Amino acid sequence: MAYLLHILILINIYIIIAISLNLIAGYTGILSIAHAAFYGVGAYVAALFAVNYGTPFLLNLIVAMAMAGAVAAVVAFPSLRIHDDYLVIATFGFQMILFSIFNNWVGLTRGPLGIPGIPQPNIFGFAITSHVEYLALSGVCALAVYFFAKRVIESPFGRVLKAIREDEIFTQALGKNVTRYKILVFVMGGALVAIAGALYAHYVTFIDPTSFTILESIFMISIVIVGGAGSLKGSVIGAAVLIVLPEMLRFLGMPNAIAANMRQIIYGALLVVMMIFRPKGLVGEYELK
């Protein structure tokens, strides 16, 4: 039972990640591979505040969102003035820079040793200690992010994002400040993924740089591609599929080393199949380019 609850908690966390990335990539058409870095900023900020200052979870969450949003803005300002392949390369560069900070700023992050002893959440005096309670917390956060994103997408702001995705030059010709909208959605995506980072840090009670590599960014993009870019339901489906499918290998009795390699093979094969037969994903409305 605990294992099933653990999987459901991970799905909730990755739903938040997928929705936050879908706002950037699926609804605005900006392919960023720095999302794991923003996720890491959220996790590290929440962990450092909790361990060093004993601050409550909600305060850690707010500070993590603010810091990740600020870092996303710093990344967005230079990156979003370029396009297409150059933008991907720029976000790749920022991903590597932030990972290097996580890995080498030993005085702050403890580097490869990671941060142990992160306390479990305490909300208004109520300690979240069991899997059931954490599932409820992560579920509430996932629902909140889902409905927030839905409101954004259905608003005039969201319609401009879709217009940028379909034809950036025409949208600019209509008098819209395209760069401003791109920066805002980048900041929004960074702040939202920080929620997932804080949840993850407080859940596993230990973080280190290996959780926030370029491979994690690619995995996040894979979730959006499989579920469907430009679809909130796709974010939910993609997270569920890519978390549950590899876990099924555990029931085949494979050694951990082989199962880990098979997991990567499954991800790769699934992406190839999706790109050939369903480039818009399972329920998507936009094909990532």
Per-residue tokens: 159: 């319609």
pLDDT for the residue numbered 276 = 84
Question: What values do phi and psi take at 186, rounded to 5?
Answer: -65, -45
Q: Is position 169 within any domain?
A: yes
pLDDT tens, 217-242?
999 999 999 999 999 999 999 999 99
* Number of domains the chain contains: 1
Q: How many residues does the chain have?
A: 289
Report the range of poorest mean pLDDT among 3-17, 82-96, 204-218.
Answer: 82-96
The interaxial angle of helices 232-247 and 131-154, nearest 10 deg, is: 150
pLDDT tens, 139-174?
999 999 999 999 999 999 999 999 999 888 889 998
pLDDT for the residue numbered 248 = 75
pLDDT for the residue numbered 287 = 66
Q: Is position 181 within any domain?
A: yes
Res 207 pLDDT > 80: yes
| pTM exceeds 0.85 | yes
**DSSP string covering 209-277:** GGGGSHHHHHHHHHHHHHH-BT-HHHHHHHHHHHHHHHHGGGGGT--HHHHHHHHHHHHHHHHHHHHHH
Cβ atoms 118, 50 nearer than 8 A = yes
Q: Is position 146 within any domain?
A: yes
Helices (H), 54-130: 57-79, 84-104, 106-109
* Greater model confidence, 69 or 261: 69
Mean pLDDT of the chain: 91
**For residue 138, what are the contacts with CB-CB under 8 A and spacing of at least 6?**
9, 12, 13, 199, 203
Q: Is position 283 within any domain?
A: no
Q: Is position 185 within any domain?
A: yes
Query: Angle at the Cα of 43 (from 152 to 234), degrees rounded to 5?
Result: 40
Report the range of poorest mean pLDDT among 18-27, 64-73, 123-132.
Answer: 123-132
Coil vs helix vs strand at 102: helix
Q: Is position 255 within any domain?
A: no
Cβ atoms 18, 89 nearer than 8 A = no
Structural domain for 163, as ranges: 2-213
pLDDT > 90: what percent of the chain? 70
| Per-residue exposure over 48-84, b if at least 16 CB sit within 10 Å of its own CB, e if not | bbbbeeebbbeebbbbbbebbbebbeebbeebbeeee
Average pLDDT over residues 104-122: 95
Cβ atoms 206, 115 nearer than 8 A = yes
pLDDT for the residue numbered 33 = 93
Q: Is position 96 within any domain?
A: yes
H/E segment holding residue 122: strand 122-123
Q: Is position 135 within any domain?
A: yes
Average pLDDT over residues 257-263: 71
Cβ atoms 123, 58 nearer than 8 A = yes
